[in-house]
Chain A
Amino acid sequence: MKSSGTTKIWLLLLPVFLFLLLPAYGLFSALWSSLIHQGSLSLQTYQELFQKETFWSSLFYSLRITFIATGVSLVIGLLLTRTFYPVINRLPGKLSVWLPMLFPHFVWGYIVLLLFEQSGLFSYMFHHLGIIESRESFPILTNDQNGIGMILTYIGKEVPFVVLMLLPVYVQKNHQYKDLVRTLGGGRWAAFKDAEWPWVSPILLESGVILFAFILSAYEVPYLLGATFPEMISILTYDWFYAGDWSERPLAFAAMISTSILIGIVSWGLYAITNRKRWLLTKGKR
């Protein structure tokens, strides 16, 4: 009995493995290329990478943009969902959240470009309304060194994603817990902290991990809206990969592998912290 059950599970997992074949091959070949130096296995490429100032400044810059964009998206998504979930759960509400999900990131990036560029719609409007004297006095919000354009793009694109992740939690949650906390003497903050946050936080964290991994390593948005310097890690890697000769390719591979390891560590750490609580919460469903 047991063996047939196990066989069934492996059969069910087969499509997953087939699907993972390509990225897994990519990951291993990148790892392999980064570990081969002059024909033999060594960590030489990594030593070279970690000594490069450009790598570290690019990594920290990427982390900063990623944390800000992820954090703001989570907060806005949470506030929107908890305030409007009864409305969002109806069809027009669901459609309005689903619709932005259908556009690729670069389309969203173009929209931000068209709206926020110095020659964009908003500067045009403000100029004509007399709020700014010339279109050049509109603040530089795209291709800027602080990455505001990228952050705006990610917020616009990821908030609907966060809302979609949180919506089922708010729809299925037992809202009597809030009444319970109030009758036991708790105020509004206690009602949030004890009757809402424990159910919401695991999903919020999960969404955060997905956004973190995606934003840290995505290419198209920094390509459209990033500054020439500092560069996001994906752009730097791409430049190395396609640099005139192939000499910097191992560096590109090493940088990609390092980013992947970083994402892996962050995800694993956060899951480990919340695993027990998540388990208790699923047990509590009656």
Chain B
Amino acid sequence: MTTPCIQLHQVSKFFQSDPVFQNLDLSLEKGEIMSIVGPSGSGKTTLLRCLAGLEPFTEGRLLINEKDLTGTETNKRPISLVFQQPLLFPHMTILENVAYGLAFQNIKKKERHPKARELIQQVGLKGYERSYPHEMSGGQQQRISLARSLAIQPKLLLLDEPFSSLDVQLRIEMRTWVRDLLKEKQITALFITHDREEAMYMGDRVGIFHGGFQQIGEPDEVYQFPSTPFVAEFFGDHMVIDEHHYVPVQSLIVTTQDPNTSQYCWEGIVKNSIFYHGNRFYQMSLPSLERNVTVASALELKTGDNVYVTAYPERVNSFTNLKSKE
């Protein structure tokens, strides 16, 4: 096996004495895209800023192609960052914006513009070279921003919720398109988002982040076999029964009459109902577990109805990190 392109060894970040994350290890293969997903305030943006060099790691090392870059200044790192907002220079044309970073790489003026033109074409905006950012839509601006970050040929591309300022429809189009482009160009990338669907789609692997990695793995694996209660609730569609057990919500059964099983049956109250993809879902609260759960059911229920929620014992799982410890 080849040495990973990007390696993080035991990195930590403290603000004063408060840890943001501690002792992280991570490695990425060349051309791999990894999503980092977590709730806001979980420290994922701080991790990205540390990788870019905008903030120092308190401890640990960052290696790119086995070269230690921990103490290297931001502008000397082969890492570029796509921000939440496009941040295009309003007084520069699209061509000047995309060519911007090339000036710092000692590339001759004559060669910068052809390179930038090629990238503008790759992001599908040929013909807009002489336009100004204010003439472009939000999605187009973010594509130019991506082209500008790719122009300097980074060894690692960081994307910090780049679609968060776009509307839902555009987000879906953009993520397909960006993933295809990154794969085509074999770019190693870290993609940050708080949207689990986006994380699953974009990443070859996903890392669930909450003050550190809770679990890293392929999207399917993490979705189906969460290793901690946090992952089960945040990333998967599971109901956490206790700190050791969970059950996938699609295997829960709703009845109006007591099924008379003592194990894995809870009383519930219907809160409201919604339709999704043609199916009716009920949101209900389970007072004994102190949880809310959304379950599909063909039953005709009204808000306030008392119901029973049951799980088959064979569908109840233990968290993966517990299994390995056992």
Contacts and interface: CB of A to CB of B under 8 A. Distances in A.
Interface of A: 174, 176-177, 179-180, 182-187, 190, 194, 198, 277, 280-281, 283-286
B101 interface: yes
B203 interface: no
A280 B148 contact: no
Contacts of B3: none
Given A176-B85, A183-B81, A281 B75 contact: no
Contact of A182 (B74, B88, B105): B74
Nearest to B134: A283
25 contacts: A177-B89, A179-B52, A179-B54, A179-B74, A182-B74, A182-B75, A183-B53, A183-B74, A183-B81, A184-B101, A184-B149, A185-B101, A185-B104, A187-B104, A190-B104, A198-B90, A277-B91, A283-B134, A284-B88, A284-B89, A284-B90, A284-B91, A284-B133, A284-B134, A286-B85
Interface in B72-116: 74-77, 79-81, 83, 85, 87-91, 100-101, 104-105
Interface residues of B, number: 28
A180 B75 contact: no
Contact of A185 (B49, B75, B132, B133): B75
Interface of B: 49, 52-54, 74-77, 79-81, 83, 85, 87-91, 100-101, 104-105, 132-134, 148-149, 152
B152 A185 contact: yes
A283 B83 contact: no
Given A183-B74, A185-B75, A187-B75, A281 B90 contact: yes
A184 B54 contact: no
A230 B14 CA distance: 63
A94 to B, nearest CB: 28
B54 A198 contact: no
Given A174-B87, A182-B74, A184-B104, 19 more contacts: A176-B83, A176-B85, A176-B87, A177-B87, A179-B54, A180-B83, A182-B75, A183-B52, A183-B81, A184-B75, A184-B80, A184-B148, A185-B152, A186-B101, A187-B104, A198-B90, A283-B90, A283-B134, A284-B91
B49, B54, B80, B90 pick with most chain A CB within 10 angstroms: B90
A176, A177, A183 pick with most chain B CB within 10 angstroms: A183
Contact of B54 (A174, A183, A281): A183
Nearest to A281: B90
B91 A280 contact: yes
Contacts of B53: 182-183
A280 B83 contact: no
A256 B89 CA distance: 43
B81 A194 contact: no
A179 B77 CA distance: 13
Contacts of B77: 183
Nearest to B79: A183
A194 B85 contact: no
A184 B152 contact: yes
Given A284-B133, A284-B134, A286-B85, A185 B91 contact: no
A174 B134 contact: no
A176, A180, A277, A283 pick with most chain B CB within 10 angstroms: A180
Contacts of A187: 75, 104
B83 A184 contact: no
Given A280-B132, A280-B134, A185 B105 contact: yes
Contacts of A180: 81, 83, 87
A186 B76 CA distance: 9
Contacts of A174: 85, 87
**Which A-B residue pairs are the 10 nearest by beta carbons?**
A284-B90, A185-B104, A184-B101, A283-B134, A182-B74, A183-B81, A280-B91, A185-B75, A180-B87, A182-B75
B13 to A, nearest CB: 17
A277 B92 CA distance: 9
Given A180-B81, A185-B104, A283 B132 contact: yes
B144 to A, nearest CB: 13
